[in-house]
Amino acid sequence: MKFLQLFLVIFGIIFSPITSYAQEMYTTTSLNVRAAPNTDSEIITTLSYNTKVETVGYVDDWKCIRLGDKLHFVKEEYLSADPQPELYSKEDLYFLSHIINAEMGCESWEDKIYTGSVVLNRKNGDPWWSQGLHTIEAVVFRNGHYQPTWNGSFYNTPNEESVRAAIYLLENGSQIPSNVVFQAEFKQGSGVWKKTKGAYYCYK
């Protein structure tokens, strides 16, 4: 493999020499793409888990990748030369995205993430929540727990942000304390973890 030293100029800034080394790689987690090889630079976009990227070189522990006709940077430690195993099933994505949309489709990203996290906390916690099955479907369809499952709104096609929130959670896990298992318009459980415009999120 031939190595080549070059300088990259972006927005008039000259970075350290980039060692040219072309390779296809895969993200091992949700990964921020940055304008420059440092964590203080602008986040251009965020790649999903197991996204294939074209690397064209590196600077220290940063990989330079090509997105469209532009070059950006990602941390090398979050890339692999091999495709990553699937973290979730189509069924998990279906049930989680639909319940997030039905409960919080018109609310903020924060509420979508918190609502989906409550579902994951119930799935991974006390078996009672999932009828002993530890599946998202069982949590969502626990008798009497989620109104959208009996009024029909669960079956509406989820919007793009609800799908993105579900994917993020399935790839990265719950984003709230594991003992926060209530989400509603009123207080319940042993105390309030957080109150948002959309709901109260409470401890068991």
User: According to DSSP H, which parts of the chain are helical?
Assistant: 90-104, 109-124, 136-140, 148-151, 160-172
Structural domain contains residue 85: no
Q: What is the CATH number of the domain that holds 173?
A: 1.10.10.2520
Report the DSSP beta bridge partners of residue 43: 34
Q: Do 61 and 94 fall into the same domain? A: no
What is the pLDDT at residue 16? 55
Q: Do 18 and 73 fall into the same domain? A: yes
Structural domain contains residue 132: yes
Domain count of the fold of the chain: 2
- Rg over CA atoms, the chain: 21
Residues 6+ apart with CB under 8 A from 68: none
What is the pLDDT at residue 7? 45
The pLDDT tens digits along the chain (204 residues) read 434 444 444 444 445 566 667 789 999 998 999 999 999 999 999 998 899 999 999 898 999 999 888 999 999 999 999 999 988 999 999 999 999 999 999 999 999 999 999 999 999 999 999 999 999 999 999 999 999 999 999 999 999 999 999 999 998 899 999 999 999 999 999 999 999 999 999 999
Q: What is the CATH number of the domain that holds 38?
A: 2.30.30.40
What is the pLDDT at residue 68? 86
- Report how far residue 156's alpha carbon sits from residue 13's, in angstroms, rounded to the nearest whole number: 48
Q: Do 72 and 159 fall into the same domain? A: no
What is the pLDDT at residue 36? 94
What is the pLDDT at residue 13? 42
- Print the domain residue range for 8: 4-80
Structural domain contains residue 136: yes
Q: Do 109 and 190 fall into the same domain? A: yes
Q: Do 95 and 41 fall into the same domain? A: no
59 and 72 Cβ atoms separated by less than 8 Å? no
